Structure 1
Amino acid sequence: MRFLFFFFFLLTIGNSWAQTVPVDTMRVSRSQAEQLFLTKNLRLIAEKLTISQAEAQILQAKAWPNPNFSIDQVNLWATQRQTRGEEVVPPLGKNFGRNQQFAFDLEQLILTAGKRRKMVAIEKVNRDRSEQYFLDLLVSLKAEFRNLLTELTYDQQEKQLLNNQLTILSEVLRAQERQYQNGNLSKAEYFRIKSLELELMDDVRERENEIQQSQQQLKTLMALPAETYLIINDGSALPAYAALKQGGFQFFKQRVSEDPPRLRAAQSEVDYAKAQHYYEQARKTPDLTLKAGYDRNGNTMLDFLGFGVSADIPVFDRNKGNILSSKIEIEKTSHQLQEARNEWQNQLFKAYANFVASSDFYERLDARYATELNDLSESVSRNFQKKNISLLEFLNYFEAFRANRETLLKANKNLRNSLEELNYLAGTDLP
């Protein structure tokens, strides 16, 4: 007894606190909510910047290596003994280089075997890979967002259902309380109805917690202020699906892209591994370094100008390890692509089977059944107050009506989720 009253007190305090929290109600349709999500989602914005970064890396890969310039062998002063009394005329100006030795060296690295072109190819594939991962993320987040909208709609509708039943039960409870106080109702029967009211209140609280969880995730995805409270106007409306069902699985497969974003992302990994392999093969060819040097007063010639070239001799390192590793990477990513394709095809079949099962169940439900359940629930309450039915019959009817209303709501939710699963696997919105 003390526990029940204490529990009722906590629920009352919780509801009072919830009502004092300032909220900004936002009523939108599913399409309006999705448009906000597509334009404001920070994760999508950040991922799109990755494509711009990849474009910048292409620009960087196209650049030639910078030449290297150095000044060497500069003596800051010279004695008479060192010059042996001979004056070295400065090459420039009046004093620069007078009685001094110095050397200029200029070097330019020349990439051989098309390394620069292959590095550009790597960065282009990396750009394509970033684009495919962005599209895959977009499709995944869109599916998650739509499922959250469906979950929020379902929870809000179920909360409304529970509140309606709680209203009916409260009226019954007030009438039975008077009977209990007049001695016309046993204590056990009164508290059985009271406990049912507490159960409903607890269910409302749990549903509100789930609503707040969905609200939190949706507001994060839509970059909305924390005080916003979302209400979806057309949450129960289902998209047209009759043609998709009547056409069968083959009709569905014909409208599915052969390369959805998830498979294109896996294919880009193979392309990247191939581009990396071509570059590693090119690296076994040594690069050339062209040299030009000027030496003033450093050898037998007063002004010496010379040219040269240098290159590594590929005796010990011919990049065999990196070439083999990149070749294995191609094989590995190819297997991963095939696995992703097989998994995707199996998921298509399973998702379509779930869609057919969900639609069959939904279509067997009578649209008028929900309204009739409300009328019957009120009728049963009146008959119980008039003592036309027993407490046990009332409780059984009450629980049955509630379970059936929840089944109706869940059938709509499951069908909507199954349709979104098909859209996600198809990589596009199916007609």
Structure 2
Amino acid sequence: MQNHIRFIFIFCCFHFWVPLFGQTAIKLADCEKALQKNNFMVLAQQCHVSEARAAIIQAKIWPQPYVYGEANMYNPDQQKYFDVGPQGQTSLQIQQLFMLGGKKRNEINWAKANAQVTELEFEQLLYQLNFGLKSNFYNLYFDQQVLGSLQKQIDQIEELVAAYAVQAEKGNVALKELVRLESLLLNMKNDRIEVQKNILEYQQNLAVLTGLPAPLVPQLDNEKDWVMHYSIQKFDTQTLFETALNQNPEYRMLKQQIEAQKINLKWQQSLSVPDVTLGVSYDQRGGAFNNQKNLTLGIPIPLWNSNKGNIERAKAAIQGSQFDLDQKQRELQRAIDAALAEWNVQRTQFISIKPALILNRETVYTGVWQNFQKRNITLLEFTDFMDSYTQNSLQINESYKQLILTAEKLNYLVNSPLF
């Protein structure tokens, strides 16, 4: 297998090349750092996490005590304004609401549960953006290799077309041969346009995700080890689903939402328990005694508002979320099975590309060019070979790309470094 990879990358290094002028070379690790630092969606979600944590602090705060006071404005007996002296009248009340039934505890637990959901939402966002980042990074890398290969062939065919055009004017070659070469060149240029369109899209996506200026050129170190890394199975297929249930952020978030809604149900049930307002009051001369000091107690009478509607809503939310979780579990199982099967197909295809095929292609390519220049083969044979060679290059490159993308899809679903 190591020789297999070595020969493959001999081909890549000498045949696939990418123009770097005016472009920014970047590695995947740098892209991931830039995403966390510059992506506005990530920064916004970090603010939401801070907001949810602040809600926990707020939930722990008890209601403020209530102070109420009275002072005489006019004493009709003494015909005196603001009579607040020894013979006047003032009163003062201080009251505090005491929550019963575990309301405050449930409110705090509800805030904590919501904070955990928000943190999982942040993790899910990073998880999705990182997958998109890697997909665009690898697509861009391989398409730029294709572009380099096509450009090399186009340059050679353009020189050949120019030479044939001169000879056609002199009557040394048939005009139909020039037309055939021009048709081959046009097909290659059309392929190049399609690849360039994809490259522009991937570069734009990377620039948006990372906040870095386009155009970006992905760079990979130790390509041989890097490709081998995605072709070796290091995991137990029987435990993939179990790992996904423990690691997949979206599934974990749905589970946490159910826990949060259960806490919300307890909170709503506790809200049906009446609260007590306790206080003390002082009345200078308005009560039964002078300088009267009283203890006050207030409690609402739960006649028609037992919070029944909100309790039923909380129960329905739990049931609905449980259905969502069951559906997600089913989808996750099917997605993992499909991704694993696709990776096995791509891995088999990758292994089938023998090192001899890569070397033979290059040897035959060079031989065909030399023999065509010596007029040992016909133009029809030459153009047929060039067309086959171009398609074969695209297919080999696509095989490498799909191996990486399907492996990353498994990493994405399980949220674990399987490769």
**Bin of the TM-score, shorter chain as denominator length:** 0.7 to 0.9
Residues 366 and 86 of structure 1, relative CA distance in 2, 3 Å threshold: closer
CA-based RMSD of the aligned residues comes to: 2.9
Q: Distance in 2 between matches of 1:65 and 1:205?
A: 67
Stretches of structure 1 that go unaligned for 5 or more consecutive residues are 1-18, 92-98
| Worse overlay, 252-261 or 199-208 | 252-261
Stretches of structure 2 that go unaligned for 5 or more consecutive residues are 1-18
Aligned to 2:355, what secondary structure does the other structure show?
Answer: coil
TM-score by length of 1: 0.83
Aligned to 1:305, what secondary structure does the other structure show?
Answer: strand
Residues 175 and 386 of structure 1, relative CA distance in 2, 3 Å threshold: farther
C-alpha deviation, 1:379, in angstroms: 3.3
Is the 8 Å Cα contact of residues 28 and 232 (structure 1) preserved in structure 2?
yes
2:191 to 193, 200, 203: 203
Counterparts of 1:344-355 in structure 2 under 5 Å? 344-355=332-343
1:244 to 217, 229, 233: 233
Is the 8 Å Cα contact of residues 133 and 265 (structure 1) preserved in structure 2?
yes
C-alpha deviation, 1:239, in angstroms: 4.8
TM-score by length of 2: 0.86
Aligned to 2:246, what secondary structure does the other structure show?
Answer: coil
Residues 147 and 298 of structure 1, relative CA distance in 2, 3 Å threshold: same
1:9 is aligned to none
Residues 358 and 307 of structure 1, relative CA distance in 2, 3 Å threshold: same
Residues 254 and 364 of structure 1, relative CA distance in 2, 3 Å threshold: farther
C-alpha deviation, 1:324, in angstroms: 1.0
C-alpha deviation, 1:40, in angstroms: 4.4
TM superposition outliers: structure 1 runs of 4+ over 4 Å? 84-89, 251-257
The answer to whether residue 313 in structure 2 is matched with residue 325 in structure 1 is yes
Residues 89 and 124 of structure 1, relative CA distance in 2, 3 Å threshold: closer
Q: Distance in 2 between matches of 1:253 and 1:243?
A: 19
The one-letter code sitting in structure 2 at the alignment partner of 1:190 is L
Is the 8 Å Cα contact of residues 257 and 427 (structure 1) preserved in structure 2?
no
Q: Distance in 1 between matches of 2:312 and 2:351?
A: 58
Matched-pair identity in %: 26
C-alpha deviation, 1:127, in angstroms: 1.4
Q: Distance in 2 between matches of 1:64 and 1:248?
A: 52
Counterparts of 1:63-102 in structure 2 under 5 Å? 63-72=61-70, 74-78=71-75, 81-83=76-78, 90=85, 100-102=88-90
1:231 is aligned to 218
Residues 293 and 422 of structure 1, relative CA distance in 2, 3 Å threshold: same
Residues 402 and 110 of structure 1, relative CA distance in 2, 3 Å threshold: same
Residues 266 and 87 of structure 1, relative CA distance in 2, 3 Å threshold: closer
| Worse overlay, 153-162 or 41-50 | 41-50
C-alpha deviation, 1:296, in angstroms: 3.4
C-alpha deviation, 1:208, in angstroms: 2.3
Aligned residues: 399
Q: Distance in 1 between matches of 2:196 and 2:84?
A: 94
Q: Distance in 1 between matches of 2:100 and 2:84?
A: 42
Is the 8 Å Cα contact of residues 184 and 387 (structure 2) preserved in structure 1?
no
Deviation per residue, 1:355-398 (Å, 9 max, x gap):
11110011001234334334433433443444433333222211
Q: Distance in 1 between matches of 2:305 and 2:72?
A: 40
2:126 to 128, 138, 152: 138
1:182 to 153, 170, 182: 170
C-alpha deviation, 1:259, in angstroms: 4.3
Q: Distance in 2 between matches of 1:401 and 1:109?
A: 83
| Worse overlay, 46-55 or 114-123 | 46-55
C-alpha deviation, 1:274, in angstroms: 0.3
Q: Distance in 1 between matches of 2:355 and 2:81?
A: 114
The one-letter code sitting in structure 2 at the alignment partner of 1:136 is Q
Q: Distance in 2 between matches of 1:109 and 1:337?
A: 39
